[in-house]
């Protein structure tokens, strides 16, 4: 697939403060790329540099292989959608969607067609004559999307567009946005701090932390092979076991020797030194057993009923807690001594050099 957009050392500083470190990203044509990270990690700043609304302090932006670092925002072929819908309150839905097309001097018939198409795509055609104040939050957000889609930009930037919606509506709109992305075939760059949203929507996720890219990978890779402790803890629930290497294949954890061969990441990390090593085990990869059959042992500390399953929290000898997802028929009792086990290939040894 060809590269649609590329940043080369694109960075932003405000005085001494670094908002985005020099960043290299290649976004493929038609891709759905999500910028994910905690508040203040630089997601919006990076997006705004791509849009042209914030001038970069360093580096270059290329669109379709052409230098675009200093191209005016309106000339980049980029559409923008933000959390605040910013609809014009005195205009009907139809006029709101048509506004950008009028500015672009669309001929009347083409304009009407484009508005109809955009309203159909967001499933709001029957609301065309209403005013924004007569719409729910989710409906207003659909109009904001339609307004952006109407002129068919080949790149669409979205900054927390679902941030103001409640959980149910958010989840519904996530699926809708996925559908629209497919229908439009445009390249989407989407900002969120919600990891579930990122996992649901994205072809790839660019995980940001403290103004830099922590990892850029597919949702599956990021979940199964986090490249750092930060990535492991930011995406999904995780148990992180800390220990010292006894030898190339064994880690001393919770007073036991844990076999590392077969662990994801072990093949590239066999070095024995006195740094701490970290092993990640997801709650759904672990099972409860008899203490004698456990890779680790502990006491059931708490059980949390989650509807579809139960999460048992096991207190390990060090005092750390280990979370195990149990099917509903398994009914661990608080205070029970239990073993915890998992298949070796469901554990990930994090690269030692990535530790803080
Ligand atoms: N105009 C500005 N002047 C000075 N600092 C700024 C400016 N704009 C952003 N920053 C700083 O840059 C950092 C990154 O901000 P940014 O808005 O990109 O974060 P974000 O990842 O989008 O966070 P959030 O999830 O809260 O929206 C923050 O520490 C912010 O305070
Ligand atoms: Mg932001």
Task: Answer yes or no: is the C-beta of 23 below 6 A from any ligand 1 atom.
Answer: no
| pLDDT band at residue 127 under the 50/70/90 scheme | very high
Does residue 245 contact residue 254 with C-beta atoms inside 8 Å? no
- Helix (H) or strand (E) holding 349, with range, is strand 347-349
Query: What band does 159 get if pLDDT is binned at 50, 70 and 90?
Result: very high
Ligand 1 touching residue 332 (CB < 6 A): no
What is the predicted pLDDT for the residue at 355?
44
Nearest in space to 98 (alpha carbons), one of 109, 112, 84:
112
On whether the CB atoms of residues 98 and 150 are closer than 8 A, the answer is: yes
Percentage of the residues of the chain whose pLDDT score is greater than 90: 73
Q: Residue 3: which pLDDT band, with cuts at 50, 70 and 90?
A: very high
User: Is 31:184 a contact under the CB 8 Å cutoff?
Assistant: no
Question: Which pLDDT tens digit goes with each residue over 248-303?
Answer: 889 999 999 999 988 988 877 667 777 788 999 999 999 999 999 999 999 999 99
Task: Return the ligand number nearest the Cα of 20.
Answer: 1
| Look-up of token digits 């790329």 | 33
Pairing state between β 250-253 and 239-247: antiparallel
Mean pLDDT throughout 75-98? Answer: 90
Question: Which residues have CB atoms below 5 A from the ion given as ligand 2?
Answer: 44
Question: What is the rounded average pLDDT for all residues in the chain?
Answer: 92
At 20, is the pLDDT very low, low, confident or very high (cuts 50, 70, 90)?
Answer: very high
Nearest alpha-carbon partner for 206 in 27, 80, 336: 27
Measured from the CA of 43, which atom of ligand 1 is nearest? Answer: 21
* Minimum CA distance residue for ligand 1 atom 4: 14
- Asked if residue 44 has its Cβ within 6 Å of ligand 1, the reply is yes
The more confidently predicted of residues 289 and 308 is: 289
Compute the distance from residue 18 Cα to the ligand 1 centre, in Å.
10
Atom of ligand 1 nearest to the CA of 15: 4
Residue 305 has pLDDT above 90, yes or no: no
> Which range is least confidently modeled, 154-163, 170-179, 181-190, 211-220?
170-179
Provide mean pLDDT across the span 164-173: 85
Where would I find the beta strands (DSSP E) of 135-218? 155-159, 187-192, 204-209, 212-217
Q: Whose CA is nearest to atom 10 of ligand 1?
A: 19
What DSSP character marks residue 106? -
pLDDT (0 to 100) of residue 271: 72
| Cβ neighbours around 331 below 10 Å, total | 10
* Residue with CA closest to ligand 1 atom 14: 42
Q: Does 353 score more than 60 pLDDT?
A: no
Ligand 1 and 192: CB distance under 6 A: no
Q: Give the residues across from 237 on adjacent strands.
A: none
Residue among 21, 40, 83 to mutate when testing ligand 1 (max atoms within 8 A of CB)? 40
Percent of the chain's residues with pLDDT above 70: 98
Residue nearest to atom 27 of ligand 1 (CA): 39
Q: What Å distances lie between residue 264 and 226, 251, 259, 345, CA to CA? A: 10, 14, 12, 6
The pLDDT confidence band at residue 354, using thresholds 50, 70 and 90, is very low
pLDDT one-digit tens code per residue, 139-153: 998 899 999 999 899
CA dist 27 and 124 (Å) reads 30
CA 20 to ligand 1: nearest atom: 14
Q: What is the pLDDT of residues 191-206, one digit of tens each?
A: 999 999 999 999 999 9
| Residue 335 DSSP class | T
Structural contact between residues 143 and 96, judged by C-beta atoms closer than 8 angstroms: yes
Position 303 scores a pLDDT of 92
User: 30 burial class (0-12, 13-18, 19+ CB within 10 angstroms)?
Assistant: middle
Of the ranges 154-158, 227-231, 263-267, which one carries the lowest mean pLDDT score?
A: 263-267
130 burial level (CB within 10 Å; 0-12, 13-18, 19+): middle
Q: State the Cα–Cα distance between residues 322 and 92, nearest whole angstrom.
A: 54
Residue with tokens 């004559």: 129
Ligand 1 near 12 CB (within 6 A): no
Q: Which residues, including other chains, have CB under 8 Å from residue 318's CB and lie 6 or more apart?
A: 254
At 25-59, the pLDDT tens digits run 999 999 999 999 999 999 999 999 999 999 999 99
Nearest atom in ligand 1 to 47's CA? 18
Residue 97 CA to residue 179 CA, distance in Å, equals 19
Burial class (CB in 10 A: 0-12, 13-18, 19+), 333: exposed
Residue 164 has pLDDT above 90, yes or no: no
* Residue 60 clears pLDDT 90, i.e. is over it: yes
Task: Tell which residue, 296, 287, 221, 282, has the closest CA to residue 251.
Answer: 296
Nearest listed ligand to the Cα of residue 39: 1
Q: Helix, strand, or coil here: 339?
A: strand
* Domains contained in the chain, CATH given: 3-229 (3.40.50.300), 238-354 (2.40.50.140)
Q: Which two tokens stand for residue 39?
A: 């508040």
CA of 27 to the centre of ligand 2 (A): 20
The mean per-residue pLDDT over the stretch 210-233 comes to 94
209 lines ligand 1 (CB under 6 A): no
Please give the order of strands across the beta sheet that includes 239-247. Answer: 256-259, 250-253, 239-247, 277-281, 347-349
């Amino acid at each position: 697939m060809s590269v649609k957009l590329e940043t080369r050392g694109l960075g932003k500083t405000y005085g001494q403060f670094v908002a985005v470190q020099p960043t290299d990203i290649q976004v493929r044509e038609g891709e759905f790329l999500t910028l994910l990270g905690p508040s203040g990690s630089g997601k919006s700043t990076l997006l705004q540099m791509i849009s042209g609304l914030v001038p970069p302090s360093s580096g270059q932006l290329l669109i379709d292989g052409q230098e675009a670092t200093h191209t005016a925002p309106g000339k980049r072929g980029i559409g923008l959608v933000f959390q605040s819908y910013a609809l014009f309150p005195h205009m009907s839905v139809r006029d709101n969607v048509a506004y950008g097309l009028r500015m672009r001097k669309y001929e009347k018939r083409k304009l009407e067609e484009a508005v109809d198409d955009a309203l159909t795509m967001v499933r709001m055609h029957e609301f065309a004559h209403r005013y924004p104040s007569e719409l729910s939050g989710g409906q207003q957000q659909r109009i904001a999307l339609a307004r952006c889609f109407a002129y068919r930009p080949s790149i669409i930037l979205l900054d927390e567009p679902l941030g103001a919606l409640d959980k149910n509506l958010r989840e519904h709109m996530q699926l809708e946005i996925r559908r629209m992305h497919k229908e439009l075939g445009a390249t989407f760059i989407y900002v969120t701090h919600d990891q579930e949203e990122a996992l649901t929507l994205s072809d790839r996720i660019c995980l940001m932390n403290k103004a830099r890219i922590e990892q850029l990978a597919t949702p599956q890779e990021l979940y199964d092979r986090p490249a750092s402790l930060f990535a492991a803890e930011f995406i999904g629930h995780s148990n992180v076991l800390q220990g010292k290497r006894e030898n190339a294949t064994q880690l001393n954890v919770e007073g036991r020797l844990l076999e590392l061969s077969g662990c994801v990441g072990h093949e590239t990390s066999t070095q024995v030194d006195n740094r701490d090593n970290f092993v990640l085990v997801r709650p759904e990869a672990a099972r409860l057993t008899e203490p004698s059959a456990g890779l680790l042992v502990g006491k059931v500390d708490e059980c949390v009923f989650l509807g579809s399953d139960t999460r048992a929290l096991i207190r390990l000898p060090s005092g750390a807690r280990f979370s195990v997802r149990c099917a509903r028929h398994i009914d661990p009792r608080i205070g029970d001594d239990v073993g915890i086990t998992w298949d070796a290939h469901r554990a990930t040894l994090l690269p030692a050099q990535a530790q803080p």
